[in-house]
Amino acid sequence: DAGVIQSPRHEVTEMGQEVTLRCKPISGHDYLFWYRQTMMRGLELLIYFNNNVPIDDSGMPEDRFSAKMPNASFSTLKIQPSEPRDSAVYFCASSDRRAEKLFFGSGTQLSVL
């Protein structure tokens, strides 16, 4: 398996634009997690899915953020409209055993100008 695949690797956009981050989990994993990493706050869980259903979205910072998982092999994290303070590295991770054994993607470096 190729591991967790995220795209794009880098994204530069202007304030107010819509941003969509993509994730393909490892085949057979039924848990998918979105994390955000910043210098100020470190790594934070934004939302996670189990069997494509959002279970806990309490970490989503505000309504500008939304996440979907239309099928077992694809998830998106959308920010609309984006703001400079959203600049961070966004990680997707998947697991077949809750969060005990996470496999992380390479992350998307988002810069909002």
Interaction site with another protein (CB under 8 A): 31, 33, 42-43, 45, 48, 55-56, 59, 89, 91, 93, 98-102, 104-107, 109
The nearer residue to another protein, 85 or 97, going by C-beta atoms, is 97
The DSSP line for 7-31 is: E-SEEEE-TT--EEEEEEPPTT--E
Nearer to another protein, 1 or 18 (CB): 1
User: Smallest distance from the beta carbon of 59 to another protein, in angstroms?
Assistant: 7
| CB of 61 or CB of 81, closer to another protein | 61
- The secondary structure of the chain in percent helix, strand, coil, rounded to multiples of 5, reads 5, 55, 40
Is 31 or 65 the residue whose CB approaches another protein more closely? 31
CA 54 to chain centre: 13
- CB 113 → another protein: shortest distance, Å? 21
Nearest alpha carbon to residue 75 among 1, 2, 6, 3: 6
Least separation in angstroms between CB 13 and another protein: 19
